Structure 1
Amino acid sequence: MTVENILARIESGARFAALAGDGDRTEGLTLLVLLARPEGIDAERLTLPPGADRYSSLTPRIPAAFWYERKLHDLYGVVPQGHPRLDPLVLPHAEDNAPLPSPGAAYHPAHVEPDERALPSHVSGTGLFSFPHGPVRSGVFESVEYVVETPGEDIPHINVRPHFKHRGLEVRFEGMTPERGVLLAERAEGIASVAHALAFCHAVEEIAGTQPPITAHLVRALHAELERIANHLDVATKLADAAGLAVAVARFGWHKERVLRLVSALCGSRFGRGVVRPGGIRALPLLGRAALRSRAGLLRRDIDSDSAALMQTASFLDRLRGTGPLDEQFALEHGLLGPVGRASGTGDDARWQRPYDAYPKLTRRQGPEYRDGDAMARLRVRWDEVAESFDLIEQLVELLDDEADDVLFTPFEPVAGQSVGWAEAPQGEVLYFLDLGDGGRVRRCAPRSASFHNLAVFSHAFRGDVLTDFPFIEASFGLSIAGVVM
């Protein structure tokens, strides 16, 4: 496959979904280009000659590849020639454009050198200066450094430096069995534990040629939708906090806590961990279906009441309206995911475009389309998805009553092969490129979260915005830094 072929496929309707590396430079690094289409995710390969340490950058023609190529440069030391801004991203560099010291492949670093050099400025002019916001910030925010370039109040540009959270998970997967690999996958991005576990298991099941039983499909979707509600409530809490609305912070924080306690009552883990396994699930919900139906109904009533009150608070709405806009054409060019993309007019949702598990059996609530692309639109998308999730949970409980049985797992024999698994996390599409070797053990696993894909455009959301808009824009994206740098 050539770059021109990939560009032709994108022009014909495929979406650039991810870019990852496989192999090493000595034998010839392979670039894995993942393309999304309604029928699934294709992995196309661009193989570099043995010893090659550079290639022609994809970013000038595929803007969404911008961060992916920076990541490849960090982990493999390969240079995308013509890349517009090749700064360090997931690992700091000891010297300009030099990969980190490593005993073997560039993505097996022996240690991480602190990078205390100032980043090059993106903008220049009289009175402009840069200051770091982070990596350690107030409250319980994740560690990330935003280098803000400003003349004092306006924000012309922001550099994002997330490498403080890098944990080398791609290497950690190597040699694991699928049963152990799913335990790591659901810890890659804690707030999307179920979605990561599903994407990993879907890849395993595709390779093995197995299909989980109906009960497993239903329970998987149930936990995925509860995870979605909890995440969207968290975003509402942070937005209310940015506006100084103490009562709303307390209310939505309590509603999120109720959702997490409900998840814990179902499976013993507040994050839904330990439910999903390759081939099915580990156990039926511990809570009776009548109790589940009752608690979900009470939650929905209270959330509807408080969200309606919040969305009638003029001082709150004024801070969201027109803040951090991303237009529809930009969203399409960058393939923005989840609520961030849907607020800008892109409607891709893996649950419905590439359905899996129980979703083909469910009837979705089709909410209104949004194209304003601002913080207000992103919050409205989340409220629509909360309502949709409660509708889906009602359907899932009924199907559990009608169709569930005691068969939770389809046995399978792990075999060698490659596949791409996906799931729709609260933040958007999660992808896992998985390569199983002899004995079905992981040879290569490259996860990609929606957080990584969407945070790449974070700096583009600041058009006419000022420093006090920063917390609203960041919260409205609803991303996880741990999911950005795995």
Structure 2
Amino acid sequence: MTRHPYESPDEWHDAVLSAVARGIRFAGLYSTANGPAARLIALLATPDGFDTIEVPVTTDPMGRREYPSLSPQLPPAFWYERALHDLSGLTPVGHPRPDPLLLPLSPGSAHPEPGSDGDGARVTARTDTQGPVDVTGHGLFTLTFGPVRSGVFESIEFLLETPGEDIPHLNIRPHFKHRGVAKRFEGRTPDDGVLVAERVEGIASVAHALAFSHATEAAAGILVPPRAQHLRVVLAELERIANHLDVAMRLTDAAGLAVATARFGWHKEITMRIMSRLTGSRFGRTAVIPGGVRLGLTAPDEDTLAELKTLERRIRDDARRTMGTPSFLDRLRGTGPLDADYAAAWALLGPIGRASGQSVDDRWHHPYDGYRHLSLPSSPAVDEDGDARARLRVRWAEIEVSFQLIHAATAAFGMQSEQRLVADEPARPADGLSIGAAEAPQGEVLYAVSFQNGLIARCFARSASLHNLVAFHDAFRTDIFTDFPFIEASFGLSYAGVAM
């Protein structure tokens, strides 16, 4: 990791835009308290890893902390700037829509300021006023959808502005799930921090634990034993299969295909039971730790591998039948389209980005753990159509690869003479900033962790859900209200991972 410090917010602004213009991918933006000032940090993905471009933002005589907004020239900064204003109080001057995103505060309430010495107790009052109306005219009305919905959907509020069928504008309010995650990390040891990381986005517990552990391991300069590296691959790919099956289940449920819904739910349940058998948790929690994996874990045995072979065959057969059902394909084809230019401009991640021609996948581009040693296909699964059907096709292809990787990692696990599952030395991270990443089922998870005296001083946990959900606004350009469940399911995101 290379850090590029600047003294002037204007110079910082130009440096970030210049880097992106050179083809470097914008990966995130956050701020951290730095005494009376704040430090603004842009994360950039380079071919060699991740770099930062940083600048202090001081308080002016009027009590404001301002910097020039990136969003007018850099679309993916749009939600990040709103989020860091809510949490840290920095104002992006020139932002096209500086509404609250994660934490709508009442006037006079203090911001949590992640990275500060306080415990966040100064945040006294949240407001819950209705979001703004953007579209007006004869016959238009606003439909509030959420935050509480039927079933087990996560809480989030969508404000649909519509004349009755078409949806010309959609506003998203995820703050109902805000849990103050950034402050939860502060002051904890790495061993406790990984437990918080697993709960940032529960359906991607393994991926978040991996990204946090990678940041900790880099800061501590420790190497993960080979057996642990390959076991990490097994757990990450089981998590990917379960999540992709959940998307298929929700899509078929929206289409009223009861048999397909039941079968994909059955396959997901088997996958999660295998995860539970290996780790003691259906979500793989407490399995990944800084330095390796928890002692006592082992790779799938012969019976489990045979069960996985049967599961793989059944999923393939059911996917083939489902993708050959005309009534199902009619609901997915052309629904929620995001073209390649849009996906590139917004730097979309995961299956959403890959269904629109973007090939970003950290297993290929920033390989880690056992992925560095296993034989991966020449490139990630990519589609060009950009609609709900393409996003599902990408997931089917990724499930096939996941099974291949599980079997390959298990074979490599068995051939290694080194028996250790965790590094000999404990994780004692050096002071300073460290970055770790992992490829979750939803896309790239990125952790920027600052350590001080062996404890976490600041942790920015960026999920692919936070990065991608903003595109939900624009997925309805050619769609109608009854397409909503198909578009939402095809995104496959976690709202907890957005609201933090």
TM-score, L = length of structure 1: 0.96
Task: Specify the alignment match of 2:318 in structure 1.
Answer: 306
Identity, % of aligned positions: 52
Task: Specify the alignment match of 1:364 in structure 2.
Answer: 376
- Please say if 1:3 is aligned against 2:13: yes
On the 8 A contact 1:94/1:100 being kept in 2, the answer is: no
Q: Which moved more, 1:323-332 or 1:359-368?
A: 359-368
Task: Specify the alignment match of 1:30 in structure 2.
Answer: 39
Letter of the 2:462 partner, please give it.
R
Alignment of 1:270-285 (within 5 A): 270-285=282-297
Task: Specify the alignment match of 2:393 in structure 1.
Answer: 380
On the 8 A contact 1:323/1:469 being kept in 2, the answer is: yes
Judged with a 3 Å threshold, the aligned counterparts in structure 2 of structure 1 residues 361 and 89 are, in CA distance, closer, same or farther, namely: same
Letter of the 2:32 partner, please give it.
D
CA distance in structure 1 between the partners assigned to 2:112 and 2:465 by the alignment: 27
On the 8 A contact 1:191/1:271 being kept in 2, the answer is: yes
Q: Which moved more, 1:274-283 or 1:112-121?
A: 112-121
CA distance in structure 1 between the partners assigned to 2:429 and 2:75 by the alignment: 37
Alignment of 1:45-124 (within 5 A): 45-51=54-60, 52-95=64-107, 108=120, 110=122, 113=125, 115-124=127-136
Letter of the 1:452 partner, please give it.
L
Deviations 1:130-164 (A, max 9, x none): 12100000110000000111111101111110111
SS at structure 2 position matched to 1:234? helix
Aligned partner (choices 415, 432, 451) of residue 447 of structure 2: 432
- Please say if 1:210 is aligned against 2:210: no
Q: After the TM superposition, which segments of 4 or more aligned residues of structure 1 sit over 6 Å from their partners?
A: 101-107
Task: Specify the alignment match of 2:49 in structure 1.
Answer: 40
Deviation (angstroms), 1:417: 2.2
Task: Specify the alignment match of 2:279 in structure 1.
Answer: 267
Deviation (angstroms), 1:90: 0.3
On the 8 A contact 2:295/2:422 being kept in 1, the answer is: no
Deviation (angstroms), 1:267: 1.2
SS at structure 2 position matched to 1:420? strand
On the 8 A contact 1:324/1:473 being kept in 2, the answer is: yes
CA distance in structure 2 between the partners assigned to 1:181 and 1:116 by the alignment: 31
Task: Specify the alignment match of 1:13 in structure 2.
Answer: 23
CA distance in structure 1 between the partners assigned to 2:309 and 2:147 by the alignment: 40
Deviations 1:277-333 (A, max 9, x none): 111111343565212311110110111111111101100000000000011111111
CA distance in structure 2 between the partners assigned to 1:441 and 1:101 by the alignment: 23
Aligned partner (choices 404, 408, 429) of residue 421 of structure 2: 408
CA distance in structure 2 between the partners assigned to 1:405 and 1:376 by the alignment: 44
On the 8 A contact 2:28/2:43 being kept in 1, the answer is: yes
Deviation (angstroms), 1:79: 1.5
CA distance in structure 1 between the partners assigned to 2:440 and 2:395 by the alignment: 12
- Please say if 1:449 is aligned against 2:458: no
Task: Specify the alignment match of 1:481 in structure 2.
Answer: 495
- Please say if 1:420 is aligned against 2:435: yes
Q: Which moved more, 1:423-432 or 1:79-88?
A: 79-88
On the 8 A contact 1:91/1:100 being kept in 2, the answer is: no
CA distance in structure 2 between the partners assigned to 1:347 and 1:437 by the alignment: 36
Letter of the 1:87 partner, please give it.
D
Task: Specify the alignment match of 2:3 in structure 1.
Answer: none
CA distance in structure 1 between the partners assigned to 2:441 and 2:323 by the alignment: 21
Judged with a 3 Å threshold, the aligned counterparts in structure 2 of structure 1 residues 421 and 102 are, in CA distance, closer, same or farther, namely: closer
Deviation (angstroms), 1:448: 0.4
- Please say if 1:470 is aligned against 2:484: yes
Deviation (angstroms), 1:101: 6.7
Letter of the 1:350 partner, please give it.
D
Deviation (angstroms), 1:369: 3.3
Deviation (angstroms), 1:459: 0.8
Deviation (angstroms), 1:37: 1.4
SS at structure 1 position matched to 2:161? strand
Deviations 1:244-264 (A, max 9, x none): 111111000010000000001
SS at structure 1 position matched to 2:369? coil
CA distance in structure 2 between the partners assigned to 1:335 and 1:302 by the alignment: 34
Deviations 1:46-101 (A, max 9, x none): 22124442221110011100000111111122221111111111012325xx6557
TM-score, L = length of structure 2: 0.93
Deviation (angstroms), 1:202: 0.4
Task: Specify the alignment match of 1:350 in structure 2.
Answer: 362
CA distance in structure 1 between the partners assigned to 2:339 and 2:429 by the alignment: 45
On the 8 A contact 1:103/1:109 being kept in 2, the answer is: no
Q: How many pairs were matched up?
A: 482
Judged with a 3 Å threshold, the aligned counterparts in structure 2 of structure 1 residues 368 and 101 are, in CA distance, closer, same or farther, namely: closer
On the 8 A contact 1:55/1:79 being kept in 2, the answer is: yes
On the 8 A contact 2:442/2:493 being kept in 1, the answer is: yes
Q: Which moved more, 1:398-407 or 1:419-428?
A: 398-407
CA distance in structure 2 between the partners assigned to 1:27 and 1:287 by the alignment: 50
On the 8 A contact 1:186/1:192 being kept in 2, the answer is: yes
Letter of the 2:44 partner, please give it.
L
Q: Which moved more, 1:72-81 or 1:312-321?
A: 72-81
SS at structure 1 position matched to 2:44? strand
CA distance in structure 1 between the partners assigned to 2:337 and 2:52 by the alignment: 32
- Please say if 1:389 is aligned against 2:402: yes
Judged with a 3 Å threshold, the aligned counterparts in structure 2 of structure 1 residues 225 and 102 are, in CA distance, closer, same or farther, namely: closer
Aligned partner (choices 132, 136, 153) of residue 141 of structure 1: 153
Judged with a 3 Å threshold, the aligned counterparts in structure 2 of structure 1 residues 210 and 286 are, in CA distance, closer, same or farther, namely: closer
CA distance in structure 2 between the partners assigned to 1:474 and 1:297 by the alignment: 31
Judged with a 3 Å threshold, the aligned counterparts in structure 2 of structure 1 residues 454 and 99 are, in CA distance, closer, same or farther, namely: farther
Judged with a 3 Å threshold, the aligned counterparts in structure 2 of structure 1 residues 204 and 287 are, in CA distance, closer, same or farther, namely: closer
Judged with a 3 Å threshold, the aligned counterparts in structure 2 of structure 1 residues 360 and 147 are, in CA distance, closer, same or farther, namely: same
CA distance in structure 1 between the partners assigned to 2:460 and 2:112 by the alignment: 20
SS at structure 1 position matched to 2:208? helix
CA distance in structure 2 between the partners assigned to 1:476 and 1:285 by the alignment: 33
Aligned partner (choices 456, 472, 491) of residue 458 of structure 1: 472
On the 8 A contact 1:197/1:276 being kept in 2, the answer is: yes
CA distance in structure 2 between the partners assigned to 1:445 and 1:10 by the alignment: 24
